[in-house]
Amino acid sequence: MDLKKLTLMPHGLEVLLPEGSPLTDLENQTSQRVIPFGCQSGACGACVIEVLDGFDSLGDMDGDEVDFLEDLGRTDKQYRLACQSRLMSAATIRIAEEE
Ligand code: FES
């Protein structure tokens, strides 16, 4: 199984997840809740992250995710919904600041 590194800022917390894992799997890897997951289905907006490095490492965005991020005013390319992202190779993220 190929493991990929996800780095969470500003903590600098590094987690290894199997390639293709949904970022919701973080819940099983850390004792602390680092991403505020809610619905885990792309509908609540609790898990918006800013991708600092490796945007293309988090899998493709589907139209629903693009539309929802647009509804949330997160139109810059660096935003993703963590619950809809899959770790395909190394990436660095942080929780998006409140707008
Ligand atoms: S947890 Fe609700 S949109 Fe991601």
DSSP code per residue over 29-92: H-SS--S---SSSSSS-TTEEEEEE-GGGG-PPPHHHHHHHHHTT--STTEEEGGG-EESS-EE
pLDDT at 62: 96
Domain 3-95: give its CATH superfamily. Answer: Beta-grasp domain (3.10.20.30)
Dihedral pair phi/psi, residue 86, rounded to 5°: -125, 135
The rounded Å distance from CA 96 to ligand 1 centre is 13
With cut-offs at 50, 70 and 90, classify the pLDDT of residue 95: very high
Does the beta carbon of 95 lie inside 6 Å of ligand 1? no
pLDDT of 29 > 90? The answer is: no
pTM value is: 0.93
Does the beta carbon of 36 lie inside 6 Å of ligand 1? no
* Average predicted confidence (pLDDT) for the chain: 93
Mean pLDDT of 43-58: 97
With cut-offs at 50, 70 and 90, classify the pLDDT of residue 1: confident
Mean pLDDT of 7-36: 90
* Residue positions counted in the chain: 99
With cut-offs at 50, 70 and 90, classify the pLDDT of residue 38: very high
Other C-beta atoms closer than 10 Å to the C-beta of 5 total 15
The rounded Å distance from CA 1 to ligand 1 centre is 27
pLDDT of 99 > 80? The answer is: no
